[in-house]
């Protein structure tokens, strides 16, 4: 591994491609969660009578890298935020930004998802008010089959990303002296100095080792305490992003390799699908693991390279999208579930209904965010936005001197 030859990004320089990637990655999350209602054979809070098996193929292709990209981009953001900040400053700022929306979301936004699932499963009686009182009291536990997380009495559902991200941020913040030491800087330079095939292959090795050791024993559950496999993958990608954050050389190399990495990613996922479709017996787990993690990193590398090439400019929509990401993320899945309860009784069919569900979800996110959340001061931090303070009034300029009046002489 060669030393990094890229100069760090100058302080104050805005990485527009990272801002755009963050917004687009969360848009994929919204579309993926709509797809979860319609994909056959995959458990979710509610399931459509129009569930389709063919959806499994694009959903698998998206699922393998979607949250990994989100965590890597979050690590890049931390790399920029941590410059000039100490451990406690990072923990304080990230804690408010992540944990406050988590607590508010679990108490106010998520309960309707649990209620709708509980009613659909036959374990919750209709009547959201009565459900909410019992849910918030966290008294007697619900039947385990009532809704996801019912055994704990309260759930974070899709908001699991927030505690995971805070934990990874806290771990890096608590070990800042290590990452800023000579050994930590050497490790960062070694990763950012990868070029050519090494950049497309070597980052896969830790992901493959963790997957071979942990995937079968700890399948992903979003149970924070026991989610060892997903923690190992997500934190590794988060750390890659943290290392890459302010280095320019590795981003230029990803841009240079963007077409190669995309072609290789398509070849790997095509091989994966062809083997799954052509073999009657399940694929060997080691081969499955290799193809999945190789495709994961190649696809992430291709997306990063293309984004750096095409999105690193001050798009007019970028500032709005940047401030919309957190509220849309917090709101979207509850709006999907609410949209399902409205549309399902209308029996609109497998084409019109999903199209309307996407439109209703996006419109609801936009109306609530732009019409309410941004405009109400106390709501902003509950959805991860900074509190806006009114601009200080400018002092009035002194009136012009009256005509014919002269200022007194300094000697007077």
pLDDT at 406: 39
Instruction: Give the number of domains in the chain.
Output: 1
What residues have CB less than 8 Å from 184, skipping those under 6 apart?
178
Q: Looking at residue 181, what DSSP letter applies?
A: S
Q: How confident is the model at residue 326 (pLDDT cuts 50, 70, 90)?
A: very high
Tell me whether residue 128 is in a domain: no
Q: Which backbone phi and psi does 144 adopt, to 5 degrees?
A: -60, -30
pLDDT in tens, 86-125: 888 888 888 899 999 999 999 999 999 999 999 999 999 9
State pLDDT tens for residues 267-287: 999 999 999 888 877 888 899
Please state the rounded mean pLDDT for residues 370-384: 95
Q: How confident is the model at residue 390 (pLDDT cuts 50, 70, 90)?
A: low
The proportion of the chain whose per-residue pLDDT surpasses 90, expressed as a percent, equals: 75
Residue 6 domain-assigned (yes or no): no
**311, part of any domain:** yes
User: Tell me: the pLDDT tens digits for 160-172?
Assistant: 999 999 999 999 9
What mean pLDDT value characterizes the chain?
A: 89
- CB within 8 Å of 121: residues ≥ 6 apart: 145, 146, 147
Q: What residues make up the domain containing 332?
A: 16-110+156-383
Q: Please determine, for residue 33, whether its predicted confidence score (pLDDT) is greater than 90.
A: yes
DSSP H/E element including 4: none
pLDDT at 11: 58
Q: How far apart are the first and last CA of the chain?
A: 78
| Rounded percentage of the chain residues whose pLDDT exceeds 70 | 91
Query: Do residues 239 and 261 make contact, with C-beta atoms less than 8 angstroms apart?
Result: no
CA distance 245 to 76: 4
Please determine, for residue 398, whether its predicted confidence score (pLDDT) is greater than 90: no
In a domain, residue 132? The reply is no
Rounded CA separation 156/172 (Å): 24
Owner of token pair 């988060």: 238
pLDDT digits (tens, 9 = 90+) for 3-31: 455 656 665 567 899 999 999 999 999 99
Please give the DSSP secondary-structure letter assigned to residue 145: T
Question: C-alpha 325: how far from its chain's center?
Answer: 9
* Greater model confidence, 245 or 199: 199
pLDDT, residue 3, reads 46
CA–CA dist 258, 52 (Å, integer):
33
In a domain, 246, yes or no: yes
Q: Residue 253 domain-assigned?
A: yes
- Check residue 388 and give its pLDDT: 74
On the question of pLDDT at 403 being above 60, the answer is: no
CB 307 within 8 A of CB 23: no
**Residue 66 domain-assigned (yes or no):** yes
Residue 404 pLDDT greater than 50, yes or no = no
**C-beta separation of 18 from 313 below 8 A:** no
Has residue 411 been placed in a domain? no
């Amino acid at each position: 591994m060669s030393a990094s030859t890229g100069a760090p990004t100058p302080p104050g320089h805005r990485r527009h491609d990272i801002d755009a990637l963050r917004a687009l990655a969360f848009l994929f999350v919204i579309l993926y969660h709509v797809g979860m209602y319609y994909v056959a054979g995959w458990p979710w809070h509610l399931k459509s009578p129009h569930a389709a098996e063919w959806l499994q193929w694009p959903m698998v292709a998206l699922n393998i890298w979607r949250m990994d990209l989100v965590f890597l981009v979050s690590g890049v953001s931390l790399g920029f935020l941590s410059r000039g900040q100490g451990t406690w400053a990072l923990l304080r700022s990230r804690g408010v930004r992540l944990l406050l929306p988590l607590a508010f979301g679990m108490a106010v936004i998520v309960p309707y998802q649990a209620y709708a699932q509980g009613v659909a499963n036959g374990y919750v009686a209709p009547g959201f008010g009565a459900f909410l009182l019992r849910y918030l009291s966290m008294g007697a536990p619900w039947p385990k089959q009532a809704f996801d997380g019912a055994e704990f009495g309260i759930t974070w559902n899709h908001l699991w990303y927030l505690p995971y991200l805070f934990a990874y941020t806290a771990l890096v913040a608590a070990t800042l002296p290590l990452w800023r030491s000579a050994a930590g800087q050497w490790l960062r330079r070694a990763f950012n100095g990868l070029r050519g095939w090494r950049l497309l292959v070597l980052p896969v090795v830790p992901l493959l080792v963790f997957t071979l050791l942990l995937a079968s024993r700890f399948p992903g559950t979003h149970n924070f305490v026991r989610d060892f496999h997903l923690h190992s993958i997500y934190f590794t990608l988060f750390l890659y992003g943290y290392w890459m954050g302010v280095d320019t050389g590795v981003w230029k190399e990803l841009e240079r390799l963007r077409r190669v990495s995309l072609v290789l990613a398509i070849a790997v996922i095509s091989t994966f699908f062809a083997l799954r479709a052509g073999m009657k017996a399940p694929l060997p787990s080691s081969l499955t693991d290799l193809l999945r993690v190789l495709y994961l990193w190649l696809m992430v590398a291709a997306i990063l390279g293309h984004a750096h090439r095409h999105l690193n400019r001050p798009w007019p929509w970028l500032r709005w999208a940047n401030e919309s990401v957190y509220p849309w993320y917090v709101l979207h899945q509850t709006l999907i579930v609410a949209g399902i309860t409205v549309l399902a009784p209308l029996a609109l069919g497998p084409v019109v209904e999903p199209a309307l569900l996407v439109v209703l979800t996006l419109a609801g996110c936009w109306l609530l965010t732009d019409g309410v959340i941004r405009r109400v001061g106390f709501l902003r931090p509950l959805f991860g936005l900074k509190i806006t303070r009114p601009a200080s009034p400018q002092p009035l300029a002194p009136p012009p001197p009256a005509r014919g009046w002269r200022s007194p002489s300094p000697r007077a």
